Amino acid sequence: MIRIGLLGTAKVAEYALVKASENTAEVCLAAVAARDGDKAALYAERYGISASYTGYQALLEQTDIDAVYLPLANHVHEEWAIKALRAGKHVLCEKPLAPNAAAAERIRQEAANHQLVIWEGFAFQHHPFWQEVLALLPELGKIEHIEASYCMPIPDKSWIVYNYEHAGGSMMDTGCYTVCMARQIAQHAVNGNAGIEPSVTTASATPLKEDVRIDRAMKADLDWGGGMTGAIHSSIWSRSLVKISLQVSGEHGSLHAYNPILPWFWNRITLRKQDDIIRRKIPGGTTFEYQLRDFANAIKTLPARSGMLDDAVNNMRVIDEIYRKAGLPLR
């Protein structure tokens, strides 16, 4: 069993680790750390975690902890991912891996010095729903266009997603998912585009009035060459309140995936080919349960796949270019 520690008490940890570990026999949530020791102790008591620590470094120094989950704010992902690796811990880092591509590259370089697993937490890609989407792509033939949207309102402007110093913005919160989805579809297409990254042709941001460096919404157009294009749309506060979808058009038809990010709530895949329409709903638990199980299995079957970090760096390169095209500073 993999003994995992939690760095911080961010809300997402309740779903991504605490509840997920309850349904994942391969993992034991063994410790939690927070900058405030009393907060860590209360969290441990609330969720039945056996150990709590004041400060993240104190947890990293524990020899009985195999891995850590890192749900901290984006701007400190690099610091604590590298410290965890140097402490000999496997790392599951909440998305995005880093605030920009340069920071992601430094994490990749550090990881090359260790025989450890480090993953970026795009949990959706571990769910049977996403695997079904990828399996259906050959039905479309040559892919022509990919559209990915993740719009989810966050009305509280005091939250860190609206804080530039914390590497906030819609692209960093929901938009990184859209880039990841579009890139994965392109990588699995029959076009022969494997290994080719998209160029960003246009990008436009809807800035936050209180801080114009923050994008509360973003749209961008992508181009892989060879007749394959894409468009992404992210929002944390705009007229597009809720939209979580992926649409792929090909020479033989189209595929529409509804709610690929949170499929355990509700999902549907619609495949259209000429006069045929196929609709499927894919059952399953939370994306976090599948991710945690796969993470534990990756630890057990080392050596780790270096491609996971390569993908994280490339995802951040696209996000950086979107910010440049939109005229906004990098995070």
Per-residue pLDDT of the chain (331 residues; tens, 9 = 90+): 999 999 999 999 999 999 999 999 999 999 999 999 999 999 999 999 999 999 999 999 999 999 999 999 999 999 999 999 999 999 999 999 999 999 999 999 999 999 999 999 999 999 999 999 999 999 999 999 999 999 999 999 999 999 999 999 999 999 999 999 999 999 999 776 667 899 999 999 999 999 999 999 999 999 999 999 999 999 999 988 899 999 999 999 999 999 999 999 999 999 999 889 999 999 999 999 999 999 999 999 876 555 789 999 999 999 999 999 999 999 9
Residue from 95, 219, 273, 281 carrying the catalytic annotation: 95
The 3 state secondary structure assigned to 272-294 is EECCEEEEECCCCCCHHHHHHHH
Handedness of CA 250, 255, 258, 262 (dihedral sign): negative
CATH for 124-289+315-325 is: 3.30.360.10
Domain boundaries, the chain: 2-122, 124-289+315-325
Q: pTM value? A: 0.96
Check if the beta carbon of residue 215 is closer than 8 Å to that of residue 207. Answer: yes
157 is catalytic: no
Distances (CA, A) of 313 to 74, 216, 295: 14, 23, 19
With both helix axes pointing from N to C terminus, report the angle between 176-188 and 307-325 in degrees, rounded to the nearest 10.
120
Query: How many helices, marked H, and strands, marked E, lie in the chain?
Result: 11, 14
Name 280's bridge partners: 269
How crowded is the C-beta side of 198, counted as CA atoms within 13 Å?
32
- Could you tell me the CATH superfamily of domain 2-122? NAD(P)-binding Rossmann-like Domain (3.40.50.720)
